[in-house]
Amino acid sequence: MQALIAVSPEAFAGQFWKHPGHYQYAVTTSFVPLSAAELRKAAAHLPLAFVQIAGEWQLVAILSLLENTNLLVGPQGQWLGGYVPAALRAYPFRLVRDEQQQGLVLATEATGAHLVPASEGQPFFEQNGLPSAELQRVMNFLIELENGRVQITRAANALAAAGVLTPWELVASHNGQDQKVAGLFHVNDAALAALKPDQLVRLQAEGGLPVAYAQLFSEEQFSRLQQAIQTQEALRSAQG
């Protein structure tokens, strides 16, 4: 991914954008953080795991057990899964910390297929310098996602504090060789069941129980990644 720059009238006045219509931009994304509002849908289609990033626990959707690989993006950039995580749908925009690390700003790449002629896309800004209606919609969507991600982080931190997260011993196969996957955690259902009533009350208050059950149920979705491998092979064979 290119370096991101803040979306401002100075940088993007008179320019137009659109989603490129494919997911080639996510071809190296092996996992993606989730937001609270998408928890059920994500758990129904993708395996979920906990990771620790910059001292915070996050719940992520696993798109591949291999680094820099996304099994759900086909050779032509088509999405091969049943659910597209919201953070990927928000492309080409992201919320990033400003230079002073005091707040979040809307950002995108300075060049790329998302920048199009006026006849093909949406304006970044109106003539008066205010965000266009579509850009404002994207901003609202990303703010909602960030608030939901914070909720998930709060819940995940509570689960870690309760001692129910344990390293997930997974193995990825590549070129006929097996390699252990590091850094992924999941809920220890025995430890969860052993919690005392007062601990369960605290977890519920932090939103931890729905997140824990979603992660446990999602483990059945690893078969979908295996199906994606087979689909990838079939699509490449069809290309000749």
pLDDT in tens, 180-213: 888 999 999 999 999 999 999 999 999 999 999 9
> Would residue 58 count as lying in a domain?
yes
Record the tokens describing residue 29, joined without a space: 């994304």
Tokens 């993606």 appear where?
Answer: 32
Percent of the chain with pLDDT over 70: 95
Token digits of residue 59: 């719940």
Number of structural domains found in the chain:
1
Identify whether the C-beta of residue 30 lies closer than 8 Å to the C-beta of residue 55: no
Domain with 32, as residue range(s), is 4-235
pLDDT higher than 70, residue 2: no
- How high is the pLDDT of residue 240? 63
Span 23-30, mean pLDDT? Answer: 94
* 240 assigned to some structural domain: no
* Cβ–Cβ < 8 Å for 72, 29: no
Tokens for 11, please give them: 């940088």
Structural domain contains residue 172:
yes
pLDDT at 169 over 60: yes
Res. 32 pLDDT band, cuts 50 70 90: very high
Q: What is the pLDDT of residue 34?
A: 97
Degrees, nearest 5: CA angle 86-90-93: 145
User: What pTM did the predictor assign?
Assistant: 0.91
The pLDDT value recorded for residue 176 is 64
pLDDT-derived band at 229, boundaries 50, 70, 90: confident
d(CA 116, CA 32): 27
For range 99-125, the mean pLDDT: 89
Can the peptide bond before residue 85 be classed as cis, meaning omega within 30 degrees of 0?
A: no
Q: Indicate whether 87 pLDDT > 80.
A: yes
- The answer as to whether 52 is a domain residue is yes
The whole-angstrom separation of Cα 30 and Cα 60 is 10
